[in-house]
Amino acid sequence: MLTDQQRAKAATLRLLQDDDVLVLPNAWDAASAALIAAGGARAIATTSAGVSWSLGRPDGQNLTRAEMIDAVSRIAASVDLPVSADVEGGYGPDTDDVARTVTAVIEAGAVGINLEDSRAPGGPLFEPQEQDARIRAAREAASAAGLPGLVVNARTDVYLSGIGPEAGRLDDVVARARSYAAAGADSLFVPGLLDLGTLSELTSRVDLPVNVMAGPGAPSVDELRAAGVRRVSVGQAIAQAAYSLARRAAVEALGKGTFDSLADADPFGDVNGAFRAR
């Protein structure tokens, strides 16, 4: 059941991304969410890749709505922070699909979504008017569920998937941003774009707060702030690092018979203490 606390979390998430730069380390299960919260995060975003990997699937819209909602529910229950759910393409192409997903996300306890405009990994993308209708469906479903303040982070994969001639991509993103804003989006997520000059031009031409996906080698948060960025997430990077550590530790233990890969782990008590007994 929707609570005043969940409505307050939605308002907090909106303020955080409008105020300064909201840094969102991405979680994929209850444990990663709890530890990210313990690290000082002000909000939690989920990663579809991490959730997919944890369920033995490759990333790229290979989960069902029910599988993703189950993960979001556990994550939201594990922290007292606002949670924004990566719902990929909405688990179906139609507006009714998006509406059902949004309703389920809210019931799971989340207060924001990422909704991408890719029909499939790598493209093609929905035409702007098609994605507008999907964003409006998300907005209407949120209002019908009692959470009109749901934060809709509209993701466009123009840069990530290399859609269209390179010279025209910025104009395409600007046009999509304006269209998505008119349809009810609250922010614009542009994974694949980290060039500071292009970001500065983008943020000067659109009214929506701009979200980028960072990682090793990316500009710093201060540099992204100076370029006008208002939201920074890391996508699958933390999950990727965690799973890579599992492989490296196994290789070391099985091959060398040593355990140095595990040396930097947090103490057991610190990790165990991040969870609430139920």
Q: Catalogue all structural domains in the chain, each as residue range(s) with its CATH number.
A: 4-236 (3.20.20.60)
Q: Which of 31-40, 129-138, 145-154, 267-276 has the lowest mean pLDDT?
A: 267-276
User: Would you place residue 278 in the very low, low, confident or very high pLDDT band (cuts 50, 70, 90)?
Assistant: low
Dist. CA 228–CA 126, nearest whole Å? 27
Could you tell me where the beta strands, DSSP code E, fall in the chain? 22-24, 26-27, 44-46, 83-86, 112-116, 151-155, 187-189, 210-213, 231-233
- 236 SS3 class: coil
- 87 SS3 class: coil
Q: For helices 30-38 and 237-255, what crossing angle results, to 10°?
A: 100
**Residue 277 to residues 28, 36, 80, 273, Cα–Cα distance (Å):** 20, 18, 14, 9
Say which amino acid occupies 124: P
Q: At residue 272, does pLDDT exceed 80?
A: yes
Q: Tell me if the pTM is above 0.85.
A: yes
Quick one: pLDDT at residue 19?
A: 78
Average model confidence (pLDDT) for the chain?
97
Dist. CA 110–CA 132, nearest whole Å? 22
Structure tokens at 178: 């304006």
pLDDT in tens, 177-195: 999 999 999 999 999 999 9
pLDDT in tens, 101-126: 999 999 999 999 999 999 999 999 99
Q: Percent of the chain, pLDDT > 90?
A: 96
Name residue, tokens 């840094």.
23
